[in-house]
Amino acid sequence: MSPPHEISHLARVELLSPKPQETLDFFTKFLGMYVSHREGQSVFLRGYEDPYQWSLKITESANAGMGHAALRTSSADALERRVQSLSNDTSTEGAWHEDEFGFGKNYRYKSPDGHTLDIVWEAEHYKAPPELQSKILTRASKKPLQGIPVKRIDHLNLMSSDVTAVKQSFERHLGFRTTERVVDGEIEIGAWMSSNILGHEVATMRDMTGGHGKMHHVAFFYGNAQHNIDAAEMFRDHDIVIEAGPDTHGITQGQFLYVFEPGGNRIELFGEPGYLHLQPDLETKTWLMSDIDTGLAVGGAKLPWETYFTYGTPSPLSVAEHQKEFSNAGPAAEAAEERVPDEIDTSRAVADSPIDVFSDAR
């Protein structure tokens, strides 16, 4: 187990998009993010309280997904120590690179499930030009007059084939604490992890399709429940697909609204930040499946099986195709199937296949 607080926070995420202009419009027009830089096929953006040159990079790509995510360490020494820990793990390969705008040297490695992660110390602070300077000194730039602007990047949720392996990698090498987890019998199907007082900067949930290394969502911070409600109205009016919310998770107590940006990546808007973990001797809370409804949504919002538990990016299917493909799958469909008595089941099987039964007669 690594010492705590060697990682400060989630600094940035790169999203890949097959519809880069529409994805860019989503983040600038609806979420009020500023463009800070353009380079090749990438555009760099930041929320008005993001401290660095960028927190979001949108890169044109054949498929949606996460290019990489980067965590900033608490010092240059902490970076060296974390890299040493990762290097000692023979199952993890990594390498230094220095090619991210606004940041110094980054150490890039793969999570046990294949997600691309960077850790970095050197970061250039954003200095607003005079016309964008806020009179509120802790605010890196003026609140924009556009859409319903997010303050900053908040957290990342990774889909994993093996939640425990990904969780242990964050605990062992980066000093994350697991604040909450969900178990289904003996199997961990979700873990929420933090390196500071937030409920989580990184979470990982089981990919129910058995996939590896996908992104579930990246979240941006409002800090205000009403903004999630206002954003839902804005998205509804402008045909952005809302998946679930606004509601409040029992897990983390965070307020959520999930939407799909036009490129296909799931984005969460985070209202109030939820429970803050101030105590150093935190005890991990374990949710059982019997209490999962409270864990997922206190107000009873349904997180749809056909997307929430099965869709991540990259995805071979678009959101709409995936929804269709998975609409008759999942625990509810299986439970309904089990409720059908055998004799009816048999007769229905016959009734369902008239072509086979009568094919000889045709």
* CA gap 154, 222 in Å, rounded: 9
Tell whether the torsion through CA atoms of 23, 71, 48 and 42 is positive or negative.
negative
* CA gap 325, 307 in Å, rounded: 10
Residue 293 DSSP one-character state: H
The nearer residue to Fe ion, 20 or 190, going by C-beta atoms, is 190
Three-state SS for 229-275 is HHHHHHHHHCCCEEEEEEEECCCCCCEEEEEECCCCCEEEEECCCCC
User: Closest distance between Fe ion and the C-beta of residue 205, in Å?
Assistant: 9
Three-point CA angle 217, 163, 284, nearest 5°:
95
User: Closest distance between Fe ion and the C-beta of residue 303, in Å?
Assistant: 9
The nearer residue to Fe ion, 148 or 159, going by C-beta atoms, is 159
* CA gap 275, 286 in Å, rounded: 15
The nearer residue to Fe ion, 140 or 259, going by C-beta atoms, is 259
Are 304 and 199 in contact by the 8 Å Cβ rule? The answer is no
Are 73 and 83 in contact by the 8 Å Cβ rule? The answer is no
Number of residues lying near Fe ion (CB under 5 A): 4
User: Closest distance between Fe ion and the C-beta of residue 265, in Å?
Assistant: 13
The CA-atom distances, in angstroms, between 235 and each of 17, 85, 228, 303 are 19, 43, 10, 18
Pairing, β 177-184 against β 187-194: antiparallel
The nearer residue to Fe ion, 261 or 268, going by C-beta atoms, is 268
User: Closest distance between Fe ion and the C-beta of residue 232, in Å?
Assistant: 14
Tokens of 216: 């579930």
The nearer residue to Fe ion, 50 or 180, going by C-beta atoms, is 180
The nearer residue to Fe ion, 46 or 217, going by C-beta atoms, is 217
Are 12 and 57 in contact by the 8 Å Cβ rule? The answer is yes
Length of the chain: 362
- Residue given tokens 């935190």 in the structure block: 282
User: Closest distance between Fe ion and the C-beta of residue 332, in Å?
Assistant: 21
* CA gap 193, 262 in Å, rounded: 28
The nearer residue to Fe ion, 83 or 259, going by C-beta atoms, is 259
Stretch that binds Fe ion, among 49-57, 59-67, 141-149, 151-159 (CB under 5 A): 151-159
Tokens of 77: 């020494």
Give the per-residue contact string, 243-272, with Fe ion (x = CB under 5 A; - = no).
-------------x-----------x----
Say whether residue 191 binds Fe ion (CB under 5 A).
no
User: Closest distance between Fe ion and the C-beta of residue 254, in Å?
Assistant: 6
Chain Cα centroid distance, residue 121:
22
User: Closest distance between Fe ion and the C-beta of residue 195, in Å?
Assistant: 16
Stretch that binds Fe ion, among 186-194, 212-220, 273-281, 283-291 (CB under 5 A): 212-220
Stretch that binds Fe ion, among 127-135, 140-148, 155-163, 316-324 (CB under 5 A): 155-163
Q: Which of 256, 254, 294, 247 is nearest to 274 (CA)?
A: 254
Say whether residue 219 binds Fe ion (CB under 5 A).
yes
User: Closest distance between Fe ion and the C-beta of residue 313, in Å?
Assistant: 15
The nearer residue to Fe ion, 197 or 357, going by C-beta atoms, is 197
Stretch that binds Fe ion, among 128-136, 211-219, 286-294, 303-311 (CB under 5 A): 211-219
* CA gap 314, 264 in Å, rounded: 9
The nearer residue to Fe ion, 276 or 357, going by C-beta atoms, is 276
User: Closest distance between Fe ion and the C-beta of residue 189, in Å?
Assistant: 15
Say whether residue 182 binds Fe ion (CB under 5 A).
no
What is the contact surface with Fe ion in residues (CB under 5 A)?
157, 219, 256, 268
